[in-house]
Amino acid sequence: MLKFTQKEKKLMQKLDTPAKVQDFLNNLKFNFEEGGETLKSPVMVLRTKNAHCMEGAILGAYILSLHGFLPLLLHLEATKGDYDHVITPFKIKGLWGALSKTNHAVLRYREPIYKNIHELVMSYFHEYFLDNGKKTLRRYSDPLNLNVFGKNWMLEEKDLWKIDKKLDKIKHYNILSKTDIKNLRRADRVEIEAGRITVDSV
């Protein structure tokens, strides 16, 4: 079992608002998993200084938990052919927002202005599409409280596949009917071009 260094502890204490945590996540290099799939714990993300969306969400959830928030994850499920996304929902004064680690210009931070989880999820809908413009977001999960994994999940040296498995099994909700799906408008050329903007390249 690893331990956080004093420098790492001080850093996380300084990240005392969701906005500060988001800025920190944005500055981490994106993990393209060139050496194989990973699901690093918070301590390992801090050591490697890179993260993909779920690793960033897990780190974000842990840092928020140090400042009085519940460490929550939320799974956004897309159609086959597109990538799912994992975000860190948080609640301030009864309203929901979210942290998000992404390499793209969209699917990012959400201000805490949403009345419930469904509203929060739907704020991602129109930005979630393939290169052909097809909109792909279809389901979302209940929030997963990482406290169910005990006291030391954030310090594990091995990959946290147990969190991934639990997130897949937790209850999910459909957001569209078959008729809704049939009538969806595709994203246009400008939207598609904006969606291709990335921070890091492989």
Torsion of CA 66, 121, 52, 149, to 10 degrees: 50
Reported as a pLDDT band with limits 50, 70 and 90, residue 105 is confident
Residues listed for the chain: 202
DSSP assignment string, 74-119: EEEEE-TTS--EEEEEEEETTEEEEE---SBSSS--EEEEESSHHH
**Whole-number pLDDT of residue 202:** 73
In the predicted model, what is the mean pLDDT of the chain?
Answer: 97
Mean pLDDT over residues 75-93, rounded?
Answer: 97
Mean pLDDT over residues 162-176, rounded?
Answer: 98
pTM here is: 0.97
139 secondary structure, DSSP code: E
**Whole-number pLDDT of residue 68:** 98
**Domain topology for 6-195:** C8orf32 fold (3.10.620)
